[in-house]
Structures are given as C-alpha cells and as structure tokens.
Structure 1
C-alpha cells in the first residue's frame, strides 16, 4: 500500500518554484494530493488538452488547465512581520 507523503505546504500558501521550466515563479497552492506528493499552484505549469466534439452539433475546443508539480520542486514563501 502506498504511503502518504509529508507535504510542507498547505492550501492557500504562497510558494516559489525552485526547479524546472517555471523556476522563480510564485503562486498560491490550490490543491494538494498527498497520495503521490503533488500540488497544483495557481497560474503555473499550464497544460493544454485538445477535446474532439462528441456530437455533430458541438465544436472541438482546447482546454487549458494547471498540471500538478511535485512538492519537492517548490518552497514556501515566508514573510516575517516586524
């Protein structure tokens, strides 16, 4: 049975991407999947899905969505209040 991974961020936290194509970009955590250790960050790592029409009346479309990142590729933004 797969173990849940410890993720050091919570939903709503501000994080910075530390590796990969979106390095040094910041965003807010929207979802956390502890089963595979991935998180979804708002405005980062967009992917596209081409959807074919299912009936004759529909038209095809390209859907854009945020793909998950591994939690080890982000760090928590800490802002100290003095």
Structure 2
C-alpha cells in the first residue's frame, strides 16, 4: 500500500457546498489537494489577502481569492430530469480490450466513477 491518498471529487467536477458560510452555492472544482483532503471551488470561501509591493515604485493591493474547503462539505452534482441533484460516488470495474505494441489484444479491467443516484458513469 502506498501513502498516497485519493479523493472521489476531481478537478472540473460541478459540486454543491453542503456546509459552511457558502452552503447551497454551486461551482466548479478548480483545485484538489488529496494530502489535506481539501478542494477549491470557484466562487466559494473567498478570502482577502494583502499583497505587498515587490518592486520599488509598485503599489501594494488587497487580493481576493478562493481558499480550500474540506471535501466532506461538497457533493457532486448530476443531471436528473433536467435538474442538478447531489449524489454520492461509487466505483465499478469494467472489462476493456487493450492492444499491445505488437498488435495482439488482451482484456483488462478499468475502474470508473459512477453516480450512486443514477448508476451512470461520471
């Protein structure tokens, strides 16, 4: 076993925030940090940071950016009957046919994410 963690939420997923000051807000995941089990969601948990002037003559400023939130506070959204609803994530092993460089083929398995609510591949 490796010490590498993995998350079920990936970069580019559309999620809804379940807890915190931004509860109910939907956005796109723009960053994932498996080590700390946190994600950055577009437009959620915005903080202000003071930016010091680096070059002489430049002015300092206040920068607003998104801060990470814990992955347990977001739920993946899937489309059901034209409406986006939150769902849990599961995994399924699918049989696939792969090709070797010499042209021969063999069967293997690949893991795919599925939405528990609909059973469809994400």
Give the secondary structure class of the aligned counterpart of 2:78.
coil
- 8 Å CA contact retained: 1:31, 1:40: yes
Give the secondary structure class of the aligned counterpart of 1:78.
strand
TM-score scaled by length of structure 2: 0.59
Aligned residues: 80
Q: Which has the higher contact order (CA 8 A, sep 6+)?
A: 1
Match of 1:70 in 2: 70
TM-score scaled by length of structure 1: 0.85
Distance change >3 Å, CA 18–CA 4, structure 1 → 2: farther
Matched, 1:35 2:35: yes
What is the root-mean-square deviation of aligned Cα atoms in Å? 1.8
Where structure 1 has 5 or more consecutive residues not aligned to the other structure, the ranges are none
The CA deviation at 1:6 is: 3.9
- 8 Å CA contact retained: 1:4, 1:37: no
Structure richer in strand, relative to its length: 2
